[in-house]
Structure 1
Amino acid sequence: MAKLYFYYASMNAGKSTTLLQADFNYRERGMATMLWTAAIDTRTESPIASRIGLTADARRFTPGTNLWSEVSSQHAASPLACVLIDEAQFLTAMQVWQCARLADEANIPVLCYGLRTDFRGDLFPGSAVLLGIADSMQELKAVCHCGRKATMNLRVSDTGEAVGEGAQTEIGGNERYLALCRRHFAQSLAMYK
């Protein structure tokens, strides 16, 4: 029986690297996969790129992409062993349910990788639904500068100052976000008053 998986973490935990390793493992055994990532993230030439230099081509989803239809069509033409989705926090609630349907009705494992929370500590919509309905969830570990597990994503300005307001989605890497433990995140935003 196929399952819907959610691998979540803060920035710099190796989510894309782990996805690419899982994809490699399937492909090394002669199994076909389908990779997806959010169209909103256009920072790199390759749709999926890890910080350690691994890359892969992938289809890009927008809020209007019907993952059930797209994956089902590909699966009918050439059977898929697995679907892997990077930047899963940007999935809509409907798209997460489409992923669940792929596992339940098409019997295709769907592995989703993404951030759990935004720079304010709020759940992303896609992550909230994944946390609610995924068959299996695993937190990947990132490390705060103090050595504790980093679970939060602090947005910083161009001058390195903590940012506590703004749009939920602002694409960026190490120049815009720091992975911190909850204590340092809260201290940075003066939440412990």
Structure 2
Amino acid sequence: MAKLYFYYASMNAGKSTTLLQADFNYRERGMRTLLWTAAIDGRSADHAIESRIGLGADARRFAADTDLWHEVSTAHAVAPLACVLIDEAQFLTPDQVWQCARLADEAGVPVLCYGLRTDFQGELFPGSAQLLGIADALVELKAVCHCGRKATMNLRIDAAGGAVDEGAQTEIGGNDRYVALCRRHFREALSR
């Protein structure tokens, strides 16, 4: 039975690296996969999905109006898919998460989603909230705070490294804009 998986973590936990390793494992065994990532994240010039340790792969890009059920089931009908892997899954709409569940339930294709659980204010992303609610399996990947505790929060920082507590939920950036922290140090940074 195919399942819908949600691998979640703060930034710098290796979500993209883990996705790329899973894709490699399927492909090494001669199985066909389909990779997706959010169209909103256009930072990478070489690959659609790129990890901080230098691994990368091409992928299709989804926007809020992408019908994942239609796109993936059509591709699956042409040549059977062993797995669908989605990076930046926090940017899925709730409807797209249900489409992913339908792919697992009706098309029999496992869907592995990788993304952030919360934003820079500690609020759930809509896609992450839906995944936490309906995924068959939830897997927390671990990042480490500077104190050694598990990092669960994403602190947005300005150019001078100061904490930012206001703004749009989505602002694309890497280590130049975000720091993964434990909850204690996240709260302390915002209270300064």
Task: Indicate the residue corresponding to 1:39 in structure 2.
Answer: 39
Provide the C-alpha distance between the structure 1 equivalents of 2:127 and 2:56, rounded to a whole number of angstroms.
23
Task: Indicate the residue corresponding to 1:145 in structure 2.
Answer: 146
Provide the C-alpha distance between the structure 2 equivalents of 1:112 and 1:148, rounded to a whole number of angstroms.
25
Provide the C-alpha distance between the structure 2 equivalents of 1:66 and 1:142, rounded to a whole number of angstroms.
32
Q: What does 1:155-174 align with in structure 2 at a 5 Å threshold?
A: 155-174=156-175
Task: Indicate the residue corresponding to 1:132 in structure 2.
Answer: 133
Provide the C-alpha distance between the structure 2 equivalents of 1:73 and 1:138, rounded to a whole number of angstroms.
28
Provide the C-alpha distance between the structure 1 equivalents of 2:135 and 2:188, rounded to a whole number of angstroms.
32
Provide the C-alpha distance between the structure 2 equivalents of 1:190 and 1:133, rounded to a whole number of angstroms.
34
Task: Indicate the residue corresponding to 1:54 in structure 2.
Answer: 55
Task: Indicate the residue corresponding to 1:188 in structure 2.
Answer: 189
- Aligned residue for 2:187, secondary structure, equals helix
- Aligned residue for 1:160, secondary structure, equals coil
Provide the C-alpha distance between the structure 2 equivalents of 1:131 and 1:73, rounded to a whole number of angstroms.
27
Please give the per-residue CA displacement for 1:45-73, whole angstroms capped at 9, x wherever unaligned. 21000000000000000000000000000
1:190 Cα deviation from its structure 2 partner: 1.2
Give the residue type in structure 2 aligned to 1:29.
Answer: R
- Aligned residue for 1:189, secondary structure, equals helix
| Structure 2: gaps of 5 or more residues | none
Task: Indicate the residue corresponding to 1:112 in structure 2.
Answer: 113
Provide the C-alpha distance between the structure 1 equivalents of 2:191 and 2:127, rounded to a whole number of angstroms.
28
Provide the C-alpha distance between the structure 2 equivalents of 1:187 and 1:22, rounded to a whole number of angstroms.
36
- Aligned residue for 2:139, secondary structure, equals strand
Find out whether 1:10 has 2:10 as its counterpart: yes
Please give the per-residue CA displacement for 1:64-117, whole angstroms capped at 9, x wherever unaligned. 000000000000000000000000000000000000000000000000000000
RMSD between superposed Cα atoms in Å: 0.7
TM-score for both structures, normalised by structure 2 = 0.99
1:174 Cα deviation from its structure 2 partner: 0.1
Please give the per-residue CA displacement for 1:100-142, whole angstroms capped at 9, x wherever unaligned. 0000000000000000000000000000000000000010000
Provide the C-alpha distance between the structure 2 equivalents of 1:80 and 1:161, rounded to a whole number of angstroms.
45
Find out whether 1:79 has 2:76 as its counterpart: no
Task: Indicate the residue corresponding to 1:96 in structure 2.
Answer: 97
Provide the C-alpha distance between the structure 1 equivalents of 2:88 and 2:104, rounded to a whole number of angstroms.
19
Give the residue type in structure 1 aligned to 2:101.
Answer: A
Provide the C-alpha distance between the structure 2 equivalents of 1:79 and 1:123, rounded to a whole number of angstroms.
34
TM-score for both structures, normalised by structure 1 = 0.98
Percent identical pairs in the alignment equals 79
| Structure 1: gaps of 5 or more residues | none
Q: Structure 1 segments of 4 or more deviating over 4 A?
A: none
